[in-house]
Structure 1
Amino acid sequence: MAPVSDPQVPPRIGAGHPEYNFVQSVMEMQKHLGEVNSSVKTLNDSINTQVKILNESIGVVSTKVDSLVDWKNKILGGAIALGAVLAGLSFVISQFFTYFDVSVKQPPESEKSATSSEAQKTK
């Protein structure tokens, strides 16, 4: 027996063939599947674009936050250094005034009575 060869003419499945509806359904499913694939690719491209924009925005915000943190650290460091300098300066000033006797002298009794009698006259 000789091997069966491929037919030289493609099979014809027309409107009268019993498998016509099945083949037509398969072709419609392939068409819709192609549309779904196209929609998914479009959505994927759109999402990738949005992700790229968000990543760029995050990078800009991250740079700004890092800059603000650096400024905050510089300000805090400056405040600490200024506090240390002022503490040292106040210590030096307090030690400087220990060498001098600062006191308020009381006026003598004769001046007190004269100023008090003048105060009574003005009233």
Structure 2
Amino acid sequence: MKVFLILGAVNAMLAVALGAFGAHGLEGKISAKYLEVWKTGVTYQMFHATGLFVVAFLASRFPESSLVSASGWFMLIGIILFSGSLYILSTSGIKVLGAITPFGGVAFIVAWILLVIAAIKLL
């Protein structure tokens, strides 16, 4: 599905840009602890941007699979909730935002489980 290729590319580009911003724009402006939190957000965003490329490939090969498509949407939700909450937490210091992060982590786990199930059924 073309949408997952686009989402993968946009998220990979954003991860590179946000990684550079963290390294050059935030250094010295936020604590080392929050800079590490920022880096965690970037890392997970890039891993799951790559996951979206995998979903795009599989969706083009198996367009009838709702499991593959659902996996891609869960990856996107995970990026928004997990990485997004870490970016906001890092720059605002509002610790309650850390409560959102696990929901993104669960979305990532669900996405990968859906891909496992799809692989078992399709391959």
Shorter-chain-normalised TM-score: which range? under 0.3
Higher relative contact order (CA 8 A, sep 6+): 2
The alignment's TM-score, normalised by the length of structure 1, stands at 0.27
Higher helix share: 2
Determine which structure has more spread, i.e. the larger CA radius of gyration: 1
Q: TM-score, normalised by structure 2?
A: 0.27
